Amino acid sequence: MTPPLAGARTPGVPPRRSGSGEPDAGAPDAELIGRSYGDPEAFAALFDRYSAMLYRYVSRRLGPEVAEDLVGETFLVAFDRRRRYDLAQQDARPWLFGIVTKLVARHHRSEAARYRALRRSPVGETVESPDDEVAAMVSATAVRPLLAEALAALPRRDRDALLLFAWGDLSYEEVAQALGIPVGTVRSRLNRARRKVRAALGDANPLSREEG
């Protein structure tokens, strides 16, 4: 399913000029951000590149009803803060996921309620990426009601680390960048979240994708 914001524009983020997309196609994120200092339209390429990815992440956590607005707000915040971005970091994904995760935190009650609702949902939801065992195990909340309950019960910080890893597809180091914490803290939070979710699932490992 194509997210509804595909091809859309975020108010406040300048659209690219017609015909200006080709030079941006292979440009590193940091180059686009740096270029946007003098040419704000260059920043729109980041929206094209990552908006669908962020939409899927937010939609899984909060539902599609609020995902589009939250992703739009993410890019507004990112555009306003682009001069603070460390241009030595070529990949802007951790930065963008960090922004959107902070915005998700404002909806923590809605997120917990969503998982509780999924816990009561009928079995049969199709996982988006069956070849990705990590995302499959963690995203099958309607298929596995106990998993939805476990996610709802996790402390927000542990849940953020777990879902950035599983649904954001970030590495430990990238999760650390997104949350502004040491990698060791990421490991601790992930291990703690794994134990709790595994216990809820009767020792099934929801995060078979191990790293480091």
Q: What digits encode the pLDDT tens for the residues 22-65?
A: 556 689 999 999 999 999 999 999 999 999 999 999 998 888 88
Question: Averaged over 94-113, what is the pLDDT?
Answer: 88
pLDDT at 142: 39
Specify the long-range contacts of residues 192-196, CB closer than 8 Å, at least 24 apart: 192/158, 193/154, 193/158, 193/159, 193/161, 193/162, 194/162, 196/150, 196/153, 196/154, 196/158
Both 76 and 53 in a single domain? yes
Q: Are residues 118 and 41 in the same domain?
A: no
Residue 175 within a domain: yes
Q: What is the DSSP track for 48-85?
A: HHHHHHHHHHHHHHH-HHHHHHHHHHHHHHHHHTGGGS
Total number of domains constituting the chain = 2
More confident residue, 46 or 1: 46
CATH of the domain at 102: 1.10.1740.10
Domain's final residue, options 57, 91, 106: 106
For residues 113 and 121, what is the distance between their CA atoms, to the nearest angstrom?
12
Range of the domain at 89: 22-106
Residue 157, both tokens: 């910080």
User: Phi, psi at residue 130, to the nearest 5°?
Assistant: -65, -20
Structure confidence at residue 1 as a pLDDT band (50, 70, 90): very low
Q: How confident is the model at residue 77 (pLDDT cuts 50, 70, 90)?
A: very high
What is the pLDDT at residue 149? Answer: 82
Q: Which residues contact 4 (CB under 8 A, 6 or more apart)?
A: 64, 68
Q: Please tell me the distance from the alpha carbon of residue 114 to that of residue 77, in angstroms, as a whole number.
A: 25
Predicted structure pTM score: 0.77
* Domain's final residue, options 47, 72, 106: 106
Q: pLDDT band for position 111 (50/70/90)? A: confident
Q: Average of pLDDT values for 175-183?
A: 98
pLDDT confidence of residue 12: 55
Mean pLDDT computed over 128-132: 41
Asked which of 106, 127, 156 is the last residue of a domain, the reply is: 106
Q: Which of 37-41, 100-104, 202-206 has the lowest mean pLDDT?
A: 202-206
Predicted pLDDT of residue 141 = 44
Query: Which has more pLDDT, 15 or 159?
Result: 159
